[in-house]
Structure 1
Amino acid sequence: MADKLSELTGGCQCGAVRYRVTGEVGYPHLCHCRMCQKASGNFFLPLIGAAKDEFHWTRGEPSWFHSSKPVRRGFCGNCGTPLSFETVGDDYIAFTHGSLDDVAAVTPVEQSGVEGRVPFYAGLFSLRETPSSRDDLPGGIKDVATTNRQHPDHDTENWSCEAI
């Protein structure tokens, strides 16, 4: 394990599943393997490890998918957010970096599964950048902001994610 942090919290997009990490975290990395690409719907899956006895689901429980015999992946059964990766029977769990309330609290230290890295990965940071305030959505960015059902980036006493 690497970084000693006082406490980290996170959860899914809708707030139905939340977690807290109370101890050390380690091996923050980007996994480029094809299985992680499929599980995240992305080019790679950023993961961080924690001891299971220091990782606690604080609201709800994830749904699980066994992506292989020894590995299961936790996700929110309500909104679909990928939340965890664990080898069954191991004392550690990996959780998704992007599900942290403070994503910048932990910095990745390695890239794994690089044989699956997409060929254009190295050029991603040279792409043109556009702020999210760009108004190219139906109803505009204002419509997104006023109808946002995303859970805030902190623990809440209660939270309900009703359908619009």
Structure 2
Amino acid sequence: MDNTVASGGCQCGAIRYRFTAPFNDVSLCHCRMCQKATGGLFGAFAGAPAQNFELTRGSLGIFRSSDTVERGFCAACGTPLTFRRPGGSYVSVTIGSLDHPEAVTPTEQTCTNGRLDYVGALADVPDLPPIEEVAPDLARRIRATNHQHPDHDTTDWVPRYV
């Protein structure tokens, strides 16, 4: 019986994971190391005890961003996936790598002294129209040549990139 509570993976599908227990915390980290590691304005993570986490496909590339932190990523497509203390009993995954990132809501923020000044005002930044409205031909070409793995488990993985 599959007791998956949450699942996710990298952009290309080479790595898939699952959690068998709910997340203990969902947090945003504003430190410069998380900004660089995720390529974003902050790191967004959901975590639980490592005993409830398993890779269901592939293996993580590991980068030790400090002596106390290792970050897992997909060596094939570069997607940042995990945050963990070496030898630790807890693992966090990037919220964006979850199959259903909308299902988790951050409950805390850390390292806010590194928060970029404009992050709090992002809700006020004007929305552009969807690409389907402004460039429908481009949107069709993107859909027709999409190499991204779907947001669910598949029985096999065939890389679709060059």
TM-score by length of 2: 0.92
Per-residue deviation, residues 6-40 of structure 1 (Å, max 9, x unmatched)? 51110000000000100131110111100000001
How many pairs does the alignment contain? 159
Shift of 1:136: 4.9
Does structure 1 retain, via aligned residues, the 8 Å contact 2:12–2:160?
no
Does structure 1 retain, via aligned residues, the 8 Å contact 2:16–2:56?
yes
Matches within 5 A, 1:19-38: 19-38=17-36
What SS class does the counterpart of residue 41 from structure 2 fall into? Answer: coil
Residue among 87, 97, 101 paired with 1:99: 97
What SS class does the counterpart of residue 67 from structure 1 fall into? Answer: strand
Shift of 1:162: 2.4
Matches within 5 A, 1:10-89: 10-89=8-87
Counterpart amino acid of residue 51 in structure 1: P
1:147 matched to 2:150? The reply is no
What SS class does the counterpart of residue 76 from structure 2 fall into? Answer: coil
Shift of 1:104: 1.5
Q: Which runs of 5+ in 1 are unaligned?
A: none
- How many angstroms apart in 1 are the aligned matches of 2:32 and 2:8? 25
Per-residue deviation, residues 95-119 of structure 1 (Å, max 9, x unmatched)? 1111000111211101111011001
Q: Which runs of 4+ in 1 moved over 6 A?
A: none
- How many angstroms apart in 2 are the aligned matches of 1:75 and 1:132? 29
RMSD (Å), alpha carbons:
1.7
Which residue does 1:120 correspond to in 2? 118
Q: 1:95 to 1:115 in 2, by over 3 A?
A: same
